[in-house]
Chain A
Amino acid sequence: MENAQMVSIIPLFYGAMPNLGSYYQSLGGPWPAPTELLKQGKIKESRETQERAAADLETDIIYIAKIMDQAGSDGFDFDTAGAYGDAEFYATLRAIEQVKRETNLAVEVGMAGEIISGMHCELDYQGTRLAGLWPHQQGKLIEKAGASMYGPVVNTKTTKSFPWNLGRALTFIKAVTKEVQIPIHCNMGMGVCGVPMSETPPIDAVTRAAKAMVEIADIDGV
């Protein structure tokens, strides 16, 4: 990062996934996996393990963010936040607060999916339950936490056509740009925000989706 900052002119962010899954024993982490506990009917234990993993994740994020701040990074990008459900999103929101308080980094948050899955179901942030939040609701919390930019996601339904998916994505993102006051940089990779799900999406679909997002949904970036 230090070397890159010396020679570059455009803003450079450090991007990382707040990957709650890697804190569970199934992926080499210290805590029992909540999915295994749920299979045994241990709901309370499942919630507890997610809370502990979320606390560890928060600690690790701020550790890395401080180092990147010292290295001169322009910002920190939380990529695919909320992939492992509401506990991961909870850790992300609390980490954003700390990063904004203790570093000079701009913060961007790109989501993993259009809805926050309720792996825990009883976690809330400033009075709002996190399970089941849609993009326009997620963005409001990310804005409250202090982030500079928000990247909503709308999942592409692979059994539907490109116009269908684009129309649906535009409907979601229009709600986001109406409700959320920070810049909106929607995620437009493969399978999200109207872009077809394939390794090399057709360029005519990608350009049409991008243009539509700019002109109809009024986004601030991609």
Chain B
Amino acid sequence: MAIGLGGLRTAGDLVARAQMEKKLKIRDAKTYVAKKLAVEPMTLSDEYAMAELRKKLDIGLIIGLTGYAKGLAAKARIAKTCDFRINCVTRLFQKTTLNTP
């Protein structure tokens, strides 16, 4: 809490994914995520602004509001919005591909 970006309250999970997948240092990871979300990097730490943005993009919220994407659905939208390759999302699409006759 003392130094964190705010996790799911803000864009902490997105910046974390940028670091782990693309091996970006924090400033570059924030710039990357900010560009993908079309906001300024400073907005990424703003709880209110990010809550509204996450609702708009439907990429998961800290509270479970009815009708908004959660779990795998939210991660699938995050993968598309931020151009991440998320392992469980890839496997979901592999498992749910149906071969039509």
Given A72-B87, A72-B91: A220 touches B25 (CB 8 Å cut-off): yes
Q: Is B71's CB under 8 angstroms from A183's CB?
A: no
Q: Report if A8 contacts B (CB, 8 A).
A: yes
Question: Considering only CB atoms and an 8 Å cut-off, how many residues of chain B contact the other chain?
Answer: 31
Q: How big is the A interface, by class?
A: 20 to 34
- Can you name 6 extra interface pairs (CB under 8 A) apart from A73-B87, A220-B26? A5-B72, A75-B20, A106-B20, A148-B23, A221-B16, A221-B19
Q: How near does chain B come to A193, taking the closest CB pair, in angstroms? A: 12
Which B residues form the contact surface with A (CB < 8 A)? 2-4, 7-8, 12-13, 16-17, 19-21, 23-26, 29, 60, 70-72, 74-75, 78, 85-88, 90-92
Q: Is A6's CB under 8 angstroms from B2's CB?
A: no
Q: How near does chain B come to A150, taking the closest CB pair, in angstroms? A: 10
Nearest-neighbor residue (CB-CB) of A69 within chain B: B87
25 contacts between A and B (CB under 8 A): A6-B71, A6-B72, A9-B60, A9-B71, A9-B75, A10-B12, A10-B16, A11-B13, A11-B16, A11-B17, A70-B91, A72-B91, A106-B20, A108-B20, A148-B20, A181-B25, A183-B20, A183-B26, A183-B29, A207-B3, A214-B3, A220-B29, A221-B16, A221-B26, A222-B3
